[in-house]
Amino acid sequence: MVIARYDLTSEGYTALLDRIVEKFAPQLQPKDWEAIAFGYWENQIYDKGAIAYSRAPQTPLTAYRSARGLHLSGKPGGEQRYRQVVQTYPTSPEAGLALTRLAALAEQPPVASAYLDVLIQNFPDRAPQALLDKSKLMDKMQSTKTAAQLRQTVLVQYPSSEAAAEMRWVYAQERAKAGDFQLAKQWAEPILTNNPDSEIAAQAGFWVGKWHEKLGKSDQAQAIYKRVLTEHPESYYAWRSASMLGWNVGDFNTVRSLNPQINKPGERPSLTAGSPTLKELYQLGQDRDAWAHWQVEFQNRVTPTIAEQFTDGVMRLGVGDNLDGIFMVSNLRDRDRPEDKAAYGQLKQQYAYWQALYPFPYVQEIENWSQQRQLNPMLVTALIRQESRFESKIKSSVGAAGLMQVMPETATFIAKNIKLKEYKLDNPQDNINLGTWYLGHTHAEYNNNSMLAVASYNAGPGAVGGWLAQTKTQDQDEFVETIPYDETRGYVKSVFGNYWNYLRLYNPEISQKIAQVAPDHPTVN
């Protein structure tokens, strides 16, 4: 049980949990079951986690996870347990989540509508999305007047909600598709003001700038691009805005040829939680000893503070657990409680946060092979972060392996071309050698257009060729937004968003330049 509580990432951990449950179940106390449930949950074994949570001390969280675990694993009983959460803990945030799940699972629109009505009445924070979801149900039931009234309620009563931003963006896109750019920007521009924390805001702002340009209003376009950089400096659309403003950041046609200076910080990120001994060990580079100390000190694993979760992510990066380290840091933005949001807002202003979110392992290997393939090293780094989170031994469900997720058959093809007789895909040198050659190959196929090369790296040249043959636009930004594969569309934006963040964090020129328009931007030393 000590291992179950404190060593969740050890080899054979879930097998150990299975053994405990199989051999010692009658002796286990509810708190033991809670620790076992959390261990299963963290390792994404949701069905066993659901069973264990049902035997843990019953709270809104454990009851909800018992339901959610069955739901995620496709096992029966999830809906019944969601209803139990609502009945037992009717005012808890978990009851609101359970009602949302029940509405989505309901097969009959009237049943789903009833769950949404409870949400609207009892959970004000979920009311805007529930109203929007109900409007879609009304559309299906051909109650178009009611649907329109519900959408109007969202816009009028909840203008700062994510649901309102979603609606405005849908209307803006419809108007732009019809060629009415004036009305499109009128729908989209309020998103920047009313919904500054929305993921849609940066996208809407960038396209408002593009639509200003189509209307011949270049000054207004430039002002909007600067606003995107100021308010959303970490976004993919900030890179596109910087490019439109003429900054030396490259565009889809020129990114490959750039060779930006990389200035890695001389100091490690500071830990925000833990004892003085832990912090000293970490700063001395004694990562394994520091990690061992942290396993004892980190008691609040189920509901960690922002400082604790950030420290856990940084500690994981220190011992080479890059996948979970980046996950722990990136998930901080999803916290809902006001105090967590405030703490996260403060953390975001620190360079240490961004350094942990965009680490730079294997920099020597990346620079070496990028130079040989005449590739921008930050583009290669961005692609590796997206493909593997810098996990050299990771394998995908279809067999892609290593840092750049090279398929074995693709590796054979590349090895013949470069006359490489022996290689191992889990070896960083070999993997980056093979992966950068293939990335250079996809660039050559598309006249060094990095957007098409990156899309081809993900979806394959056949798919990209088909999209090019069918596209009706010459605007590359429009092409990205209309990539038919959701995965590839998101992949392209993520890779170039990563590229931009590495550039703004580790290139002194761009870091200083963006600091002039975004005062809170942490600058590289």
Query: Residues 6 or more apart from 401 whose CB is under 8 A from it?
Result: 394, 395, 407, 408, 425, 426, 431
Q: Which two tokens stand for residue 242?
A: 């910087």
Mean pLDDT along residues 315-328: 94
Mean pLDDT along residues 221-239: 96
Mean pLDDT along residues 452-480: 95
d(CA 193, CA 187): 12
Which numeric CATH code is attached to 363-499? 1.10.530.10
d(CA 517, CA 224): 12
Apex CA 372: angle with CA 368 and CA 376, to 5°? Answer: 75
Q: Which two tokens stand for residue 84?
A: 């139990």
The answer to whether residue 239 scores a pLDDT higher than 90 is yes
The answer to whether residue 490 scores a pLDDT higher than 70 is yes
This prediction's pTM: 0.91
Domain ranges of the chain: 2-157, 162-232, 276-357, 363-499
d(CA 368, CA 430): 12
Say which DSSP state 124 is in: G
Tell me the angle at which helices 93-105 and 60-73 cross, rounded to the nearest 10 degrees: 20
Q: According to the model, what pLDDT value does residue 221 have? A: 97
Fold match flag (2-157 vs 363-499): no
The tens digit of pLDDT for each residue in 123-170 reads 999 999 999 999 999 999 999 999 999 999 999 999 999 999 999 999
Q: According to the model, what pLDDT value does residue 337 have? A: 87
Q: According to the model, what pLDDT value does residue 321 have? A: 93
Q: Which residues are catalytic?
A: 387
d(CA 75, CA 228): 44
Per-residue confidence at 451, pLDDT binned at 50, 70, 90?
A: very high
Q: According to the model, what pLDDT value does residue 523 have? A: 60
On the 0-12 / 13-18 / 19+ scale of CB atoms within 10 A, 525 is: exposed
Per-residue confidence at 524, pLDDT binned at 50, 70, 90?
A: low
Task: Tell me the residue type at 321.
Answer: D
Mean pLDDT along residues 103-117: 95
Apex CA 311: angle with CA 310 and CA 316, to 5°? Answer: 100
> Does the domain spanning 162-232 belong to CATH 3.30.360.10?
no
Residue with token string 């009983």: 77
Q: According to the model, what pLDDT value does residue 301 have? A: 85
Find the Cα–Cα–Cα–Cα dihedral 38, 39, 43, 44, rounded to 10°: -40
The answer to whether residue 424 scores a pLDDT higher than 90 is yes
Q: Which two tokens stand for residue 266?
A: 């001389």
Mean pLDDT along residues 482-506: 96
Mean pLDDT along residues 410-417: 96
> Does the domain spanning 2-157 belong to CATH 1.25.40.10?
yes
Say which DSSP state 350 is in: S
Q: According to the model, what pLDDT value does residue 521 have? A: 73
The tens digit of pLDDT for each residue in 92-103 reads 999 999 999 999
The answer to whether residue 8 scores a pLDDT higher than 90 is no
Q: According to the model, what pLDDT value does residue 414 have? A: 96
Taking all residues of the chain, what is their mean pLDDT, rounded to a whole number? 94
Q: According to the model, what pLDDT value does residue 265 have? A: 77
The tens digit of pLDDT for each residue in 340-362 reads 999 999 999 899 999 999 999 99
Mean pLDDT along residues 102-110: 94
- Using alpha carbons, select from 191, 203, 188, 212 the residue that is nearest to residue 241: 203
